Chain A
Amino acid sequence: MWDYTPIVKDHFLNPRNVGDIPDADAIGEVGSLACGDALKLYLKLDENKDKIVDAKFQTFGCASAIASSSALTEMVKGKTLDEALAVSNQDIADFLGGLPEEKMHCSVMGQEALEVAIFKYRGMEMPQHDSEHDHGPAYPDYEGEIVCKCFGITDAFLKKVIETNSLTTAEQVTNFTKAGGACGGCIPKIKDLIAQVLGEATAKPRVRPEKLSNMKKMQLIQEVLERDIRPLLWADGGDLELIDIDGSNVQVAFRKACAGCASSGNTARMVEAKLRDLVAEDIVVEEVSQ
């Protein structure tokens, strides 16, 4: 039996705002019968078409899907559209006092329905999803290549969820999106996507500048360490700390798994190569034991 919080149980047994709004301003629909859960969210706006004055939902799914939908409607009432867009799936889970990790996809479904409703209202053309009769994409508004064929989930949607929730393992991605949870055939692809997101978060300043002032150089070194290098070390349970920068001489200390690791010399050379690649050719990295 799932260990649901009393708030989840309450919102499951006594769901708030069940039903539809015939003259809704915005409707967001995600999921499908085939996937095992689906949510249709209705929003009614005030005269200025800015504030959400009413929200209702229809949900097909398990207890946590129903509770997440109920929580979502309670959370967005009274918010402006921009405020509502800031609601994350984690906010929904927090509102409910937490969800079992395996059920996080229910909070993701809630957040998605909200986003789809608002985006559509704001005039983005979205494809219609005849979810009762096909097993098409679960989140049709994230166009892209279907990665998980079992649940119809695209790379664009997966990348978004990986990024917003800072996911680092395929198992987490399954818990948050269901992708990879049936046949498991797409798990290698999911791992690639995680790597891509980790890399992409850092990939922008790829070109080494021609000339740098000392000030700019120091800034760029710090930036590259933060965005390109530390996430790589985290993946292996390690970390590093910048101790000092003296011209082109960069002093770092290794932490966690990297501290005292026999191959930290290699890691230092990797850091040096990356900094030479992205900052300046004359960088020398020195490991200090501080």
Chain B
Amino acid sequence: MKEVYLDNNATTKVDEAVFEEMRPYFCELYGNPSSMHFFGGQVQSKVNEARVRVADLLGAAPDEIIFTACGTESDNAAIRSALEVFPDRKHIITSRVEHPAVLTQCRNLRQKGYRVTEIGVDGAGRLDMEELKASVDDDTAIVSLMWANNETGVIFPVEEAAAIAHAKGAFFHSDAVQAIGKIPINMANSSIDMLSLSGHKLHAPKGIGVLYLRRGTPFRPFLVGGHQEKSRRAGTENAAAIIALGKACQLAAQHMEDENTVVKAMRDRLQDALMTAIPYARINGGGTERLPNTTSIAFEFVEGEAILLHLSEFGICASSGSACTSGSLEPSHVLRAMGVPFTCAHGSIRFSLSRYTTDEEIDIVIREMPPIIALLRKMSPFGREHLKAQA
């Protein structure tokens, strides 16, 4: 069965050109970039080229790029660094809808005596900027807010938030893992201090991430040991993956326009068709500025895992905000923070597209989804009066 892959916020296909770029750096050009001999040196120059390519996508300087193992490591490193740079500041600000890479770290720090403020969002997923303004004080070491939400695609006004943080001398970090490659980002015109990126969300392989660190920003490394990454991240470079990420960033810059035209048009067609065909559904964060590739739709009276497994029978890969799919028993913290009613939080499905998504794939989902929802609703003890009235 051919897969209909609409789960690109979970991970993406490695672009063939990206794979070709990294292929020689396993069995042939396997030297250590730190070595003094020619064999390592040729890897070093390719790593340098990758650093330039990543920096170009971000509008950054190459020495502002620190390669890490993943987005989670970048998030952890940024927050820990800020707390070490400001040992007297004991306050961290984040949001209620952050990725666990940030949220779990902050909640663990709370156990260790730090004060943590989690800024709320409204029903459309918009950050409460007034609460943010009121929360930042002289004790705040860092404000960490995601650029775009992984579940709903809702975009936060991070530049404005950075200015609020800086007014009190706090660092500003953004987990931009979902945003990079999908919307233009230019660090040259930004005041954001630190930014996290993950390779496998933009057609590079898993296991490579970046922490952008603005020039002049004080930093304390998370991993210590060797002098790699100018002693800001010790550990032998994952050279092949770094080279792959460089290529992926170059391609992302070339395809940026497509993401916001072709991909967005497919996303809009998908969500419009589903909303027309299926009553008692709502778009989570609809009406708010969102990533062009993401849509999260809540279907009332049905449960997400059951929807996903039926979709899977047709090869359709999506994801859900439901409890049952994750092993946790509560629906997604993002949907709960948005106040999505319990009647549909369990039945939320996220479709996330990429530049590889085709019109045929969208057609398949538009064809298969309405009968699946109807079937499960027929089976459900809830919403029977509503649906009868509708019919």
Which residues from B are CB-within-8-Å of A40?
A: 381
Q: Is the CB of A61 within 8 A of B303?
A: yes
How far is A34 from B302 in the complex, measured between Cα atoms in Å? 11
Interface residue count for A (Cβ, 8 Å)?
A: 30
How far is A201 from B172 in the complex, measured between Cα atoms in Å? 58
Interface-lining segment among A11-19, A116-124, A278-286: A11-19
Task: Say if the beta carbon of A259 comes within 8 Å of chain B.
Answer: no
Q: Is the CB of B381 within 8 A of A34?
A: no
How far is A244 from B197 in the complex, measured between Cα atoms in Å? 70
Most buried by A among B303, B304, B329, B382: B329
Task: Say if the beta carbon of A127 comes within 8 Å of chain B.
Answer: no
Interface-lining segment among B79-87, B250-258, B320-328: B320-328
Min distance, Cβ A10 to any Cβ of chain B, angstroms: 12
Which residues from A are CB-within-8-Å of B20?
A: none
- Once A135-B342, A178-B329 are accepted as A-B contacts, the answer to whether A39 and B381 lie under 8 Å apart by CB is yes
Task: Say if the beta carbon of B64 comes within 8 Å of chain A.
Answer: no
How far is A59 from B325 in the complex, measured between Cα atoms in Å? 17
How far is A181 from B330 in the complex, measured between Cα atoms in Å? 8
How far is A40 from B379 in the complex, measured between Cα atoms in Å? 10
Q: Is the CB of B342 within 8 A of A151?
A: no
Instruction: Out of A13, A33, A65, A150, name the residue touching B330 (CB < 8 Å).
Output: A150
Interface-lining segment among B223-231, B270-278, B305-313: B305-313
Closest B residue to A12 by beta carbon equals: B309
* Contact string against B for A residues 88-99, beta-carbon threshold 8 Å, 1 for contact and 0 otherwise: 000000000000
How far is A150 from B342 in the complex, measured between Cα atoms in Å? 12
Q: Which of B282-340 contact A (CB under 8 A)?
A: 301-306, 309-310, 313, 322-325, 327-331
- Once A58-B379, A60-B303 are accepted as A-B contacts, the answer to whether A34 and B342 lie under 8 Å apart by CB is yes
Q: Is the CB of B329 within 8 A of A151?
A: yes
Q: Is the CB of B346 within 8 A of A36?
A: yes
Task: Say if the beta carbon of B343 comes within 8 Å of chain A.
Answer: yes
How far is A6 from B310 in the complex, measured between Cα atoms in Å? 14
Q: Is the CB of B330 within 8 A of A63?
A: no
- Once A12-B309, A60-B303, A181-B330 are accepted as A-B contacts, the answer to whether A36 and B323 lie under 8 Å apart by CB is yes
Interface residue count for B (Cβ, 8 Å)?
A: 27
Q: Is the CB of B302 within 8 A of A60?
A: yes
Q: Which of A33-64 contact B (CB under 8 A)?
A: 33-34, 36-40, 58-63
Which residues from B are CB-within-8-Å of A39?
A: 381
* Contact string against B for A residues 135-153, beta-carbon threshold 8 Å, 1 for contact and 0 otherwise: 1000000000000001100
How far is A15 from B376 in the complex, measured between Cα atoms in Å? 11
How far is A182 from B323 in the complex, measured between Cα atoms in Å? 10
Closest A residue to B324 by beta carbon equals: A62
Task: Say if the beta carbon of B380 comes within 8 Å of chain A.
Answer: yes
Task: Say if the beta carbon of B378 comes within 8 Å of chain A.
Answer: yes
Which residues from B are CB-within-8-Å of A38?
A: 381-382
How far is A174 from B330 in the complex, measured between Cα atoms in Å? 12
How far is A62 from B379 in the complex, measured between Cα atoms in Å? 12
Instruction: Out of B306, B327, B328, B342, name the residue touching A66 (CB < 8 Å).
Output: B306
Which residues from A are CB-within-8-Å of B302?
A: 60
* Contact string against A for B residues 32-63, beta-carbon threshold 8 Å, 1 for contact and 0 otherwise: 00000000000000000000000000000000
Which residues from B are CB-within-8-Å of A59?
A: 379-381
For the A-B complex with A62-B303, A62-B304 known, give 16 more contacts whose Cβ atoms are closer than 8 Å.
A13-B313, A33-B346, A36-B330, A36-B346, A38-B382, A58-B380, A60-B382, A61-B324, A62-B306, A62-B322, A63-B305, A63-B309, A65-B303, A66-B379, A181-B328, A182-B330
Please report B residues at the A interface, Cβ cutoff 8 Å.
301-306, 309-310, 313, 322-325, 327-331, 342-343, 346, 378-383
Q: Mind listing 10 A-B residue pairs with CB under 8 Å?
A: A13-B310, A29-B381, A33-B342, A40-B381, A60-B380, A60-B381, A61-B306, A181-B329, A181-B330, A182-B329
